[in-house]
Each structure stands twice: as C-alpha cells, then as structure tokens.
Chain A
Amino acid sequence: MHARRSRFLILSALIALATIIATRWWTPAILHGQQNEQLPAILVTRQLAAVEGLRIGDVVTLAARPDGSSAKQFRIAGIYEPVADPTRLAAKRFEARLHLPDMLELKADAADPQSTESVSAINVTLTDPQDATSFVREAAAAIPIPQLTVRTAQGGDGSARLFVVLDRFHFAIAVVTVVASTMFLLALMVMLVEERRESVGILRLIGLRKGRILLQVFAEGLLIAVAGAAFGIVFAVTMQGVVNVFFQWRYDTSLIFVRITPHVAMRCILLAVPLGVVASLISSWTLLRSNVLDLARR
C-alpha cells in the first residue's frame, strides 16, 4: 500500500514537473506563434520556398527598396505554384503575393501621396467570358481616364507576337524537314521501284495494262504512307511526354511545351499521305514508260 502510494506520488511529481517544464517551454512558443498570427499573411512561390528553405508559418522580412529601409515582417500562409507564363520561361519565379493594402503600405512613398491610392491593374471576372470583347469596348468608352487601357486577359500584343514569330520559326523548320524528307523518300522509292523492275516487266508481259500496275503501285504507296504517318504520330505522341518532362524539369515550370492535338495529327496525315503516294507514283511512272522487254531484261 505504502509502495503503491509512493509510486503514485512520484508519478504525480513527474507529471507536475513535466507540466511545469512544458509550460515554461511552450508558453513563449505559443505566444510567439500567436504574435506571428498577428503578422500579415503572404504566399510565396514554390521556387522561392525551395531556394530559401521557407515553410508555412515562417516569418520573412520584405522591403520595397534595395537598402532595406521601411522593411516589414510577414507570415508565410501558403506556398503556391505560379501560373505558367511562356514569356517568362527562363525567369526564376521568386515571387510573393501580398494582400493589396499590405502591398500598398510596403511600397508607400512619402513624396507621392497617390502611391497608396493607385494600383497597376484591375482584374475583372465577367459572368459570361464571351462578353469580354464587348465589355472592353464599352469600358474603354465609358471610363474617361486617358492612361487607362482596357483589354481582354488573353495576353498582350507583345506576347501574342512572340508566339506568332515562334510558330513561324517552327513552321519554317518543319518545311525544311519536309523538303529533306521528300528528297530522301523519292530516292528510296526510285530504288525500291528499280528493285521491282523485273516483276513489273513480267506483269506487263502477261498482259497487265500500265493503268492496272499503276493502280497497284498507288495502293501500295497509300498503304505505306498511311502506315508511316500512323507510326509517326504514335512516335510523336510517345515523345511529347519525354520532351515535356525534360523541358519542365529544365525550366522548373508547369508549362506544356509539346502537345499533339487532333488538328496537328490531321495536318501531318494530310501532308504525309499524299506525299508518300505521289512519290511512289512519280518513281513508278518512269519505270512504266520503259520498254517491256527492257524491263524483263530479255
């Protein structure tokens, strides 16, 4: 009984001691946490958090001036993936999002009374996104501020032009590749047809007309072209994942670099199949014009 009581007392003392120690240790931490909770919240990009080793709940100091004056403390409330922007592909996305009043306070300039009253842009979400163009027209006419520009959020003229130029560049490369491929294709078809010289001669000798043989060549060319185009598309679809993974890793972005859409696949088929068929017909036509006995080597 006495021993049990002693154990109970020792256990109670240990619990009390632990409670005191925990209270001593945790109280400042809790208070500190509560103080942090008072700080304005910000979000930082995944890239910034990774480089600086930031975690949710950390307190960071931000200043709008390079000398660090007028710096303010903020609490990291979250880490976000920035919206992928192709025009800033190579830029390190070290960014933070602040509540607008916090941002205005941080950037306040005593010499410019309007600095806490102005914003760079106002984003508007429409009930029906299809109305964007008409809204832009009406808003531009209705708001009498000369420096105000109203535009749809489909990217500025600059970014649009950038991608038009890149699109043209890739198209030009594609044209050169197609020209080179066509040359090789023709050379290969000429050789393949040459290999069948005797077979064609014998077919002519047993009475098949040129048109009939040409039809057979056309069917063969079509089959080869369709099979080649299909293989090419399957290969491209497989490779697009590899290319995307590589470039997303290389640029630390969620952008999609290659996307084989049905439209792209259709364009490839419409280019490759007629090209293959025409190549086989052209190469065969020269053979069919030859003398039958020459073809049969007799």
Chain B
Amino acid sequence: MSPLAFALRGIVRQPGRAILGIAGIAATGALLFDMLMLSQGLVISMERLLAGVGFDIRVTATQASPMAGPAIPNATGAVAVLEKVPGVEHVVPIRVGQALVDIDNHSDQVTFMGANAAAHGPWTLVEGREVRPEDSANPPGVIVNRNLANRHGLAVGGNLTLRGDCIDNSSVPPTVFRVEGIADFPFDQSLQLTAVTTLRSFAHACGDVNADEADMLMLASSPGADPAVVVEAIRGVRPDLTAVTNEELVARFQQVEFSYFRQISFVLATITMFFGLLLITVLLSVSTNQRLGEIAALRALGFSRARMVSDVLWRSTLLVGTGGLIALPLGVVLATWLDRLLQTMPGIPANLRFFVFAPRTLVVYVALLTVTTAVAAIYPMQTVARLPISSTLRSEVIG
C-alpha cells in the first residue's frame, strides 16, 4: 500500500475529527484566500477601470489627485499645445461640478461634467449619440447615466432641466438640456446621478465666467506610443502642468489611497496563517501522540522510519490539501459577500472591486498552504522519527 493510501485510510478511520479538521482548515483557508485577493484587488480593479476608459494619461494643474486640486487655466491653449505632442491622439478637457435636478418634488444632486470630446469621452455610450463641442443645437445636448435616466424616466430625445450648482455664492437660472445619449461612467458610484455636456454648455449652466478652465485633461496616446514617453514630452512642453500615466496613478493610489486595505489584508493574512499553522500542528501532534502505540507496532512489523514519517507528512498534506481545495469556492462566496459589504462605503465607484482573483493569488495561496503543510508536520514527524519502538510498545500495551 502506498504511503498516500495508507494515510488516507488512517484519516477515513476517524471521520468525525477529520471532517472537523478539514472544515476548520477550509474556513481558515477561505479567509486566507480572501485576504490575498484583497491585498491586490483594489489595484487590479483600478487598473482595469482606468484601462477600460480608453485614456491613458491625465493632466492636472498640480500634483493633487485628479479633481482634488485647482483647475487648469487657459484650457484651450493647453489642449492646443498637448495635441501637438508626438504620440498624443486626442485630448479631452473636463470640468466637474454639481447640479440639481428636481425629481418627485425634491432636488437631487447630480455630478455635472463638461467635456469637449471630439471622438469619444471617458464613458461608454449605451444608447443615443455623443455630444460634440461643435453642436449648437438649442436646447444643448447632454448625456446622462442610467441612474439618472431611470430615476427621471429619461429617454434619448427627452428634456432634462438642471440647475447649475458649481460656484459658491451663485444662483443661476435652470438650463434645459436635450438628452442625446445614455452612457455608463466607469467611476460612478452605485446611486450616483451623472450628466455630461460640452464645456460651453457647462459654463452656461453654471453661470461660470471662467469658462476657459479645465479640472483635468484626459489624453489618449496613439496606438503603439509609450504613455511614459508621451508624459515626458508633455513635461517638456508644459512643465507647469502635472501629467501622469495610468500606471503612475495606480502606483500613487496603491501607496496612499488603498494602503489601508493592503495593510489590513497583510495583517489578517499573517494572523490567519499563524492561526492555521498552530491549529494544524496541534491537530497532527495530538493525533500522532494517540497513535504512538500503533506506529511503534508498525515499526516492529517492519515499516521503515522514513515510511512512518512520510505517513505523517501525507496526513498533513491530505488534511490541508482537502481543506485548502474546499476553501477556494468557499473563499469566492465569502469574497462576494464581503465585496458587496464594502461596496456600500461612500465614495466607492460601483465598478471597483475589493476582492479580485488573479492567477498570482492562487500561486501565493498554494505556496503558503504548502509551507503550512510542511511546517505543521515538522514536530509530529520528529516525534515519529525519534520514537523508541520497544519502550513505546511496552508502555502502550502493558501500561
């Protein structure tokens, strides 16, 4: 009989304790798997979100996070300069403010944006058409997100009245817009209402005299162009502006914004590992101690020391391996639940995920479980290896 089959029979012989042990390992493993997913989840999710937008460079006035700092003055001039930078395909200046929309006798706040997108903007159009900067239709066009369309019962071609709420101490008359399209905005929160129009219409609706400003310029580099090289070129022509690639933005988020979840996942993963290791060691040790007579008898019958030591290692492998395998689907279910829970945090885009599976996660998970299996088996293996056969048989049989 192979050592694996022998160890399997030994475990099956005591199903109660085996099931409890495996269940405990599965629960611990699921938590470990989730913490590994959490450690990189936000970064991977943010990378995917940024990549999905179709723009790979962001330009702002200062080093503050996009939308958190001051606006870029003379945006038209900045766009004209940046469009001539080699490797830049197109530039979309964006302004972000607030507006109020009246729904069911009460006002709701809308994230109101102005963007001059010649080709396409940083959103995904699901219905209708884009709003072009050269459009001079009256009423001006607007694109709304699905939340706003659903809550206001809006369809393409319908009218939407917004009251600009962009500047302190100002009160501007409401502006009527024609809904030209319905779009998904990648960074929208789950209940966020969003509307985007041209910069000119935005300035008009906000009663803004400083119309030639942009909170951010979004740049799409040409196919084949390296965004890092394009950013260097931008820094050369406009050193007063701050340009960052998606990679740099993610790195910045990773260092600052997401660090809490990275730290907490590291701490919890370490505790889970230690906890799991301790308990598996105790389970194996107690189990081995209970089998000392049996092991001594098998040694006396001719089983080699290496064979009995490998039996302990196989038992550890079977327990941790089975528990670890069960932990994977369990971890996915748990991650889905925890992700939904964290999604309710204010300010989190609806498409951002905290727990994201990546092949690297599985590799690290398997590596950690392998280490746990080996380390947990060290002490019981030592016990078996040093077991004196005759005295053990004597004490176990005679007492």
Contact B21–A176 (Cβ < 8 Å):
no
Q: Which of A114, A161, A182, A184 contacts B344 (CB 8 A)?
A: A161
Q: Please encode chain B, from 38 to 78, with 1 for each CB lying within 8 Å of some chain A CB and 0 for all others.
A: 00000000000000000000000110000001101100000
Q: Known interface pairs A180-B31, A191-B290. Does A247 touch B24 (Cβ–Cβ under 8 Å)?
A: no
In the bound complex, what is the Cα–Cα distance between A60 and B100 (angstroms)? 40
One of A74-82, A164-172, A207-215 contacting the partner = A164-172
Q: Which of A90, A157, A188, A192 contacts B256 (CB 8 A)?
A: A90
Contact B341–A169 (Cβ < 8 Å):
yes
Flag whether B5 is at the interface (Cβ < 8 A). no
* Interface size range of chain A in the complex: 35 or more
Contact B169–A115 (Cβ < 8 Å):
yes
Flag whether B153 is at the interface (Cβ < 8 A). no
Q: Known interface pairs A89-B260, A173-B31, A183-B27. Does A111 touch B20 (Cβ–Cβ under 8 Å)?
A: no
Chain B's closest residue to A195 (CB) is B290
One of B131-139, B230-238, B280-288 contacting the partner = B280-288
Q: Min CB distance, A47 to chain B, in Å?
A: 13
In the bound complex, residues from chain B placing their C-beta under 8 Å from that of A166 are 345
Q: Please encode chain B, from 140 to 180, with 1 for each CB lying within 8 Å of some chain A CB and 0 for all others.
A: 00000000000000000000000000011110000000000
* Interface size range of chain B in the complex: 35 or more
In the bound complex, residues from chain A placing their C-beta under 8 Å from that of B286 are 188, 191-192, 195
Q: Min CB distance, A110 to chain B, in Å?
A: 11
Flag whether A66 is at the interface (Cβ < 8 A). yes
Grouping DSSP codes into helix (H, G, I), strand (E, B) and loop, the B interface class, with mixed when no group exceeds half, is helix
Flag whether B259 is at the interface (Cβ < 8 A). yes
Flag whether A17 is at the interface (Cβ < 8 A). no
Contact B24–A183 (Cβ < 8 Å):
yes
Query: B-contacting residues of A (Cβ < 8 Å)?
Result: 65-67, 89-92, 111-112, 114-115, 118, 157-158, 161-162, 165-166, 168-169, 172-173, 176-177, 179-184, 186-188, 190-192, 194-195, 243, 247, 250-251, 286
Question: Which 3 pairs, one residue from A and one from B, show the smallest C-beta to C-beta distance?
Answer: A183-B24, A180-B27, A187-B20
13 residue pairs of the A-B complex, CB under 8 angstroms, read A66-B69, A90-B259, A157-B346, A166-B345, A172-B338, A173-B268, A177-B272, A180-B276, A184-B20, A184-B21, A184-B282, A191-B286, A195-B286
